[in-house]
Amino acid sequence: MSTAEKTFSKGLEGVVAAQTEMSFINGTEGILEYVGIAIGDLASQSSFEETVFLLWNKRLPTASELEAFTKDLRSHYTLCDEMITQIKSCPKDAEPMHVIRSMISMLAMYDTDPNANSVEAARQKSMRILAVTPAIVAVFDRYRRGLEIVPADPSLSFAANFLYMLNGEKPTEAMTRAFDICMITHADHGLNNSTFAARVVISTLSDVYSAITAAVGSLRGPLHGGANEGVMKMLNQIPTVDDAEAFVMNMIKNKERIMGFGHRVYKAKDPRASELMTLAKQLAEDTGNMDFYNKSNAIEKVMEREYAAKGIYPNVDFYSATTYHCIGLKLDLFTPMFVLARIAGWSGHVIEQLEDNRLFRPTTDYVGPHDVAYVSIDNR
């Protein structure tokens, strides 16, 4: 490509850098589909396990295929003793996202063939990472709280098993379903920053663990998956629903970003936000947390009035904050929940990249000086 043909797009906006068969996004109309199926239909009718099968195989499973897939996933729920020891060597006040990023990286050292990069090997590693990461989160959280580790229960679904390992008691069906819907809605989302990071890393033919580790590091940023914690911090700072409008208007006046709003692709309401809004309302009613829901709703109304013309609407992180709070999760576990789900998408993209790989290597537009004389250190 000649220099004249090269274009610079800050933040790579509008650049098509990969092809995928997994998720389709229409940002103007607020549409999200996984393999052609509307996210709302999956949230209301599918399970996380079935959604992962869909993303990785580009079709819905038959009953026996889903059974085999689920059995395989459950057979990898348990974390080995060495990994538990590694988690217990982390400082108790470490941020869970730092622990997760480090421990996913460490999983490579307990894999007898960590660098195997055939598509089949990548699928198997993805299955293991997806299945065992909930245990990493639960083991660390219980260890820092001084509680006994709760072993995984392979008779439980992905969602129920995580809540069981975290809380030490079997979750209700309603909580399990709510968590399952969170996992479905967060599973994949085009070439978002963390997915791009995963694809960039695997494109060097590095390894699946490195790719997923890089993705976790990307996701934790406040402009990406870290925004759900930012939303909760904001909700905690607003004393009552009546204070919401003044609080947000003050943030706008100070040119602060309102977490949970805006998106590079959506210029309409993120369809995941609509799904999670319904879920958050139901859970808030059931758990006596309507103040959080009402504050969120009040913020959305102010933002609609002030920012809708600019195409800034609630994104997935806005109502997921209230949802996770109602499920009983601590604030610093919100972004880790995004990780649990998005491993499905990251892995699917890693597999797609390996199926038709070409090294990612964009170029820079050099804007510095030329022909500068070298001055020896004594003369500077």
Q: Reply yes or no on whether 224 is catalytic.
A: yes
Q: Which of 188, 317, 325, 349 is catalytic?
A: 317
Residue-wise burial string across 307-327, b where 16 or more C-beta atoms lie within 10 A, e elsewhere: eeeeebbbbbbbbbbbbbbbb
Q: Which of 72, 98, 224, 286 is catalytic?
A: 224
Residue nearest ligand CMC by beta-carbon distance: 262
Binders in 182-241 for ligand CMC, by CB under 6 A = 192, 223-225, 227
Binders in 262-281 for ligand CMC, by CB under 6 A = 262-264
Q: Applying CB under 6 A, does 98 fall inside the site for ligand CMC?
A: no
Q: Give 276 or 316: the residue with its C-beta nearer to ligand CMC.
A: 316
Least Å distance between CB 316 and ligand CMC?
A: 5
Q: Reply yes or no on whether 186 is catalytic.
A: no
Number of residues lying near ligand CMC (CB under 6 A): 19
Q: Which of 141, 180, 189, 263 is catalytic?
A: 263
Q: Reply yes or no on whether 332 is catalytic.
A: no
Interface map 299-328 toward ligand CMC (x if CB under 6 A): -----------x-x--xxx-----------
Q: Give 171 or 345: the residue with its C-beta nearer to ligand CMC.
A: 345
**Residue 274 vs residues 191, 262, 290, 316: alpha-carbon distances, Å:** 21, 14, 17, 8
Q: Give 160 or 258: the residue with its C-beta nearer to ligand CMC.
A: 258
Q: Among residues 53, 247, 261, 313, which is the contact residue for ligand CMC, using CB under 6 A?
A: 261
Least Å distance between CB 30 and ligand CMC?
A: 13
> Dihedral of the CA atoms 280, 282, 288, 290 (nearest 10)?
60
Least Å distance between CB 234 and ligand CMC?
A: 11
Q: Applying CB under 6 A, does 171 fall inside the site for ligand CMC?
A: no
Q: Give 39 or 160: the residue with its C-beta nearer to ligand CMC.
A: 39
Q: What residue type is 240 in one-letter code?
A: T
Q: Applying CB under 6 A, does 334 fall inside the site for ligand CMC?
A: no
State the residues that interact with ligand CMC by CB under 6 A: 11, 192, 223-225, 227, 257-264, 310, 312, 315-317
| Catalytic positions | 224, 263, 317
